[in-house]
Each structure stands twice: as structure tokens, then as C-alpha cells.
């Protein structure tokens, strides 16, 4: 962790073989931030690119030495690992993460950081002119609704990588960051379930200026689901164990009724006994998990309380 400084905002941008986009993006970003923010830094994490991305970054560092910092991975580790590296070396009170592919508008950074405080995490929700493929849009809607049900909070955009957060809060969750594309999912669920204040604000999403998305719908979609379940198990395990126990209990009742109808006498079939036992065991496991979770998790959501004047 870097030492405290007077830097207000740190912009963290993972980069992997995106030389042409960062050649345009970074000067525009620095110019905008100079007008809007007094003290800021831009941290680019070069994730083992094999093209001329590194040479372009060296030129830009010489051009903006007072604002641009570049961290380098010796080989490609993944988007989540890059975010973990960038956030760990950030010096700003607020950390903003964004992509380097040109889809995120630099001007939207201001609307994100304006909400901190009172919020601890502000997510740019892709609800304005989003042009992703239909199947990715459908997958995002499923993830949003599934995570909303598990977290008991409406989530407008679970996987958006464009977000602002308090550095002091997010560093606690860095060990949970996976190396791949599930870091936004991790921070969203972790902040919500730890009791932090989370807001969603609409952002404009532009067409990708170069390259193609590196997210695989099936492989990364499976990882998103695992991350969601993992966060719920860490902070609120009964949200998973209780429904599972109820389902097993209901199936046990149906098995018992089927046995009664088939035997024409009072009998408890083995299948019903197995299902009732599984329901009871699942419920007890949920109670134990909930006790363990309650003893390990510290809630911080009431740190920033506002009063009417």
C-alpha cells in the first residue's frame, strides 16, 4: 500500500495490447482532469503486452510525468490482477477504474466522483445507448437479477468496469479479486454485503475503438456466477442455505405423499426420509456458516451518516 498523499483521485486503467487507443485516450483524459480536478494521477497497468503498448506508454510518461504512472506486469495476468496492482499502488482518496478500449467517456468520471461522499462505491450503469450484442445484454440482465435477489438490493449493472470507490474501503477486498474479468462483480457484491453505501449512475457507452472484447460468454459467465455465490456465502450464507433447505423439505413432503398414495397406508418412504434429513442438515450447515460469517465480517455502512438541517 502506498503512503498517504494529497492526491484526490487515482484513475486506474488496465492495458493489454491497446497501443492505439491509449495513445488517444490518455492525453484526452489528462486534459479533462486538469480542468476538473486539482490533484489527480493516472495509473496504467501494462499487463504483459507483446505489441508496442509499452513504448507508447513510455512516450506518454515523458509527456505527462506529473500525472501519469505506469506499473508493468512481466506477463499477462488478467484484468483483475491489473486492477489489484493499480489499486494497491494508488495514492488518491478516490479510485476510479475504467477500460482502455474507448467505450468509457472520460467526462463521466466527474459524475461518478461527485457522489463520493456520501457513497462509498459508485458504479457507472450502462443504461444509455449500450450497443453490446443481444446475448451479452441478456446475460447481463440475468446476472443483475440473480445478484439482486441474492443481495436483497436492486443492482442495475453488476459487471460494469467503470466505477469510483473509496480507496480505504476497497483495499480490504483486494485479496478477493480474481485474476480474470470478475473483479467488478467482486467489488459490487462485497461492498453491498459489507454494508457500504453503493449507488448506480447512468453513463454513456461508446463503440469499442479497436480490438474485440476478451470476455468469453460461457467461461466468464460461469465465473461471474461463482463469484456471486462466493460473496453471498462470505457475507450472508443463509440466503443460499435456507432456500436450498426449503426446497429439499418440500420435495420430501411430495415424496411422502406419493408414498402414501402408492401404498394406500401410512408409510414414510426412504426417499422422503433422505430428503427430510438433507433439508435438516442443510439448515444446520447454514446456521453454522452464518455464525462463522458474522464473527469474521465487519460492517462499515454507517460510517457516513447525513442529518437533515
* Full-model pTM: 0.73
Q: Do 160 and 212 share a structural domain?
A: yes
- Which residues contact residue 142 at a Cβ distance below 8 angstroms, ignoring those fewer than 6 apart? none
Per-residue pLDDT averaged across 119-135, rounded? 72
Q: How many percent of the chain have pLDDT more than 70?
A: 82
Q: What is the pLDDT of residue 2?
A: 44
Final residue of a structural domain among 220, 235, 250: 235
Tell me: do 155 and 277 sit in the same domain: no
CA 221 to chain centroid = 13
In a domain, 33, yes or no: yes
Q: For residue range 76-86, what is the model confidence (pLDDT) as tens digits?
A: 888 889 999 99
Do 58 and 114 have their domain in common? yes
DSSP string, 175-217: GG--SSTTHHHHHHHHHHHTT--EEEEEEEBPPPSSS-----H
Is residue 32 one of the residues assigned to a domain? yes
Q: What pLDDT does residue 165 have?
A: 92
Count of the separate structural domains present in the chain? 2
pLDDT digits (tens, 9 = 90+) for 207-228: 655 555 555 555 656 776 777 7
Q: Which domain holds residue 42?
A: 9-235
Is residue 186 in a domain?
A: yes
Let me know whether 39 and 53 are in one domain.
Answer: yes
Q: Per the domain annotation, does 305 fall within a domain?
A: no
- 17, part of any domain: yes
Most confident of 113-117, 127-131, 182-186, 303-307: 113-117
Q: What is the pLDDT of residue 13?
A: 92
Tell me what percent of the chain is helix, strand and coil, each rounded to the nearest 5: 50, 15, 35
Considering the chain, what percentage of its residues have pLDDT values greater than 90?
18
State how far Cα 234 lies from the chain centre. Answer: 15
The number of CA neighbours under 13 Å toward the Cβ of 96 is 28
16 and 132 share one domain: yes
The enclosing domain of 94 has a CATH number of: 3.90.550.10
Is the same domain home to 28 and 125?
yes
Determine, yes or no, domain membership for 130.
yes
Residues 242 and 231 both lie in one domain:
no
Cα angle, residue 189 at apex, residues 202 and 294 outer, rounded to 5° = 145
Task: Specify whether 130 is located in the same domain as 192.
Answer: yes
302 domain-assigned = no
Last residue of a domain, one of 216, 235, 254: 235
- Nearest 5°: the CA angle 222, 203, 305 is 90
Residues 188 and 288 in one domain: no
The model's confidence at residue 143, banded by pLDDT at 50, 70 and 90, is confident
Residue 192 lies in a domain: yes
pLDDT band at 278 (very low <50, low <70, confident <90, very high): very high
Domain identity same for 211 and 67? yes
The verdict on 53 and 144 lying in the same domain is yes
107-127 mean pLDDT: 87
85 in the same domain as 25: yes
Q: Is the pLDDT of residue 234 over 90?
A: no
pLDDT tier at 3 (50, 70, 90 boundaries)?
A: very low
Domain boundary among 213, 235, 257: 235
Amino acid at each position: 500500500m502506498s503512503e498517504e498523499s494529497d492526491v484526490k483521485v487515482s484513475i486506474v486503467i488496465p492495458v493489454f495490447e491497446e497501443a492505439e487507443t491509449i495513445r488517444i485516450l490518455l492525453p484526452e483524459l489528462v486534459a479533462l482532469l486538469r480542468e476538473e480536478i486539482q490533484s489527480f494521477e493516472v495509473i496504467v497497468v501494462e499487463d504483459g503486452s507483446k505489441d508496442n503498448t509499452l513504448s507508447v506508454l513510455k512516450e506518454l510518461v515523458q509527456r505527462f510525468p506529473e500525472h501519469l504512472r505506469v506499473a508493468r506486469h512481466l506477463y499477462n495476468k488478467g484484468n483483475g490482477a491489473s486492477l489489484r496492482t493499480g489499486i494497491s499502488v494508488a495514492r488518491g482518496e478516490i479510485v476510479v477504474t475504467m477500460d482502455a478500449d474507448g467505450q468509457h467517456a472520460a467526462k463521466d468520471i466527474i459524475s461518478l466522483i461527485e457522489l463520493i461522499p456520501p457513497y462509498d462505491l459508485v458504479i457507472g450503469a450502462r443504461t444509455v445507448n449500450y450497443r453490446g450484442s443481444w446475448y451479452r445484454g441478456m446475460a447481463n440482465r440475468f446476472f443483475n437479477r440473480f445478484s439482486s435477489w441474492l443481495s436483497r438490493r436492486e443492482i442495475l449493472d453488476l459487471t460494469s468496469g467503470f466505477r469510483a470507490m473509496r480507496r480505504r474501503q476497497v483495499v480490504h477486498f483486494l485479496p478477493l479479486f480474481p485474476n480474470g474479468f470478475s473483479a467488478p462483480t467482486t467489488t459490487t457484491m462485497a461492498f453491498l454485503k459489507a454494508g457500504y453505501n453503493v449507488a448506480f449512475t447512468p453513463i454513456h457507452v461508446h463503440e469499442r475503438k479497436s480490438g474485440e472484447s476478451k470476455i468469453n460468454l460461457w467461461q466468464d459467465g460461469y465465473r461471474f456466477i461463482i463469484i456471486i455465490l462466493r460473496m453471498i456465502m462470505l457475507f450472508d450464507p443463509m440466503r443460499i442455505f435456507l432456500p436450498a433447505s426449503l426446497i429439499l423439505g418440500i420435495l420430501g413432503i411430495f415424496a411422502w405423499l406419493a408414498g402414501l398414495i402408492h401404498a394406500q397406508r401410512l408409510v414414510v418412504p426412504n426417499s422422503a426420509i433422505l430428503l427430510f434429513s438433507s433439508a435438516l442438515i442443510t439448515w444446520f450447515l447454514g446456521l453454522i456458516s452464518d455464525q462463522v460469517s458474522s464473527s469474521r465480517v465487519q460492517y462499515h455502512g454507517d460510517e457516513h451518516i447525513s442529518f437533515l438541517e
